[in-house]
Amino acid sequence: MTETTRSARLMDGKALAQRLVAEAATGAAQLRERTGTAPCLATVLVGDDPASETYVRMKRNRCAKAGITSRHVPLPASLSTGELVERVSELSQDPGVHGILLQHPVGPHIDERAAFEAIAPEKDVDGVTLSSFAAMSFGLPGFVSCTPGGILRLLDQYEVDLAGKHAVVVGRSAILGKPAGMLLLERNATVTYCHSRTRDLSAYMRDADVLIAAVGRPRFVAGADIKPGAVVIDAGSNPGNVGDVDFETARERARLITPVPGGVGPMTIATLLTQTVQAAARQLAVA
Ligand code: NAP
């Protein structure tokens, strides 16, 4: 193994996210000064799942620190799809709300897609509607899903050249793996999606110039799965602050790698805040 591949450089998502949140805070303050209105994010939480409560609280705390107002809408787990759609539609029509975050999951008896689709596209700062997804796939302006958007921003920060590179995305969820691959494709990477039915997964991973782990299994990607000199993005967030990549062995092979915590996680929230300020600026017609 060469000196350059012995220990990867860390991609510091925490530091970049702090900068982006500071920029969002400046944008929010300017908006408030020019229009008398601060950006407002509505957070909709169905039920009392402790993990979801924590995520929403974290997002609201970050909003508060950035001068973004948040309007919390806690709803009972017994809510019907129709009732949830109605509440989300009200927020979509409310001129005092500029962005809407509907925390996933909403409960097995609710049609989550119907609830997401009640979010007006111009307020879809979490990038969950079909309209946002379509815009992203066509390379048109719109709000991107926050975690993939944060990953691309991080790759840009570290000047990772994506054109012609083989990007392998392990995971194909609608909020993470699939859009991450589409954003990489938009940047002219050659993209391979891997998933639970992929045969000889390790062979694909070992051929990746850029490897995105979005599996939801602790330390799933081992150092031996990584091509020496690859860029490794660990989107995993498993209990105990453990990623989907075995960091210690992976860093011996990778050129650049995201830590967990402090890599992709903070970038997700930073993207949410950035998009909320952008949404408010457009709705207040000062963009
Ligand atoms: P998900 O919906 O459960 O999707 C997991 C994906 O991994 C699926 O596409 C699945 O394949 C694939 N997979 C599962 N086992 C596999 C295996 N043995 N081999 C190959 N592929 C396999 O999860 P998600 O919502 O995308 O989240 C993935 C991870 O990212 C989780 O750790 C989550 O906590 C984390 N995450 C982090 C953030 C953040 O802000 N940092 C945000 C969102 C998610 P199939 O499609 O074939 O089932």
**Where in the chain are the domains?**
35-120, 146-266
Is the pLDDT reported for residue 5 higher than 80? no
CA-based nearest residue to 234, from 244, 224, 242: 244
What's the 264 CA to ligand 1 centre distance in angstroms? 14
Cα 270 from Cα 248, distance rounded (Å): 27
244 CA closest ligand 1 atom index? 32
Q: DSSP alpha helices (H): ranges in 123-232?
A: 130-137, 146-157, 177-186, 201-206
Is the pLDDT reported for residue 4 higher than 90? no
Q: What is the pLDDT of residues 154-200, one digit of tens each?
A: 999 999 999 999 999 999 999 999 999 999 999 999 999 999 999 99
The predicted structure's pLDDT at residue 254: 98
Cα 57 from Cα 63, distance rounded (Å): 10
Annotated active-site residue in 126, 225, 244, 246: 126
Per the annotation, the verdict on 244 as an active-site residue is no
Q: Look up the pTM and report it.
A: 0.96
What's the 34 CA to ligand 1 centre distance in angstroms? 42
Per the annotation, the verdict on 275 as an active-site residue is no
85 pLDDT band (50/70/90 cuts)? very high
From residue 111, give the alpha-carbon distance in Å to each of 80, 81, 88, 104: 9, 6, 13, 12
Indicate which residue's Cα is closest to atom 24 of ligand 1: 173
Please determine whether the domains at 35-120 and 146-266 fall in the same fold group of CATH: yes
Question: 146-266, superfamily in CATH?
Answer: NAD(P)-binding Rossmann-like Domain (3.40.50.720)
Paired sense of beta strands 210-213 and 231-234, if any: parallel
- CATH number, span 35-120: 3.40.50.10860
Contact 173 CB / ligand 1 (< 6 Å): yes
Q: What is the pLDDT of residues 210-237, one digit of tens each?
A: 999 999 999 999 999 999 999 999 999 9
Residue from 62, 152, 195, 199 whose mutation best tests the ligand 1 pocket (most atoms within 8 A of CB)? 195
* DSSP letter, residue 144: P
Angle at 23 between CA 18 and CA 26, to 5 degrees: 125
287 pLDDT band (50/70/90 cuts)? low
